[in-house]
Amino acid sequence: MKACADSSFLFSLYVPDANSTPAVARMKHAKLPLFFTDLGELEIANGVALRVFRKELQPSEAANALALFRRDVESGVLRIIPLPSSAYQQAALLAGRHTPGLGTRTLDVLQVASALVLKADTFYTFDQKQAKLASAVGLRVP
Q: Tens of pLDDT along 62-86?
A: 999 999 999 999 999 999 999 999 9
Residue 141 lies in a domain: no
Give the number of domains in the chain: 1
List of the chain residues with pLDDT < 50: none
CA distance 59 to 61: 5
Pairing state between β 122-124 and 3-5: parallel
CA distance 65 to 24: 15
Residue 142 lies in a domain: no
pTM of the model: 0.93
Q: What angle do CA 39, 17, 38 make, to 5 degrees?
A: 10
Residue 128 lies in a domain: yes
CA distance 52 to 61: 9
Residue 69's pLDDT is what?
97
* CATH number of 45's domain: 3.40.50.1010
CA distance 112 to 139: 9
Residue 56 lies in a domain: yes
Prior bond to 142 cis, omega within 30? no
User: What residue numbers bound the domain in which 120 lies?
Assistant: 3-136
Residue 1's pLDDT is what?
80
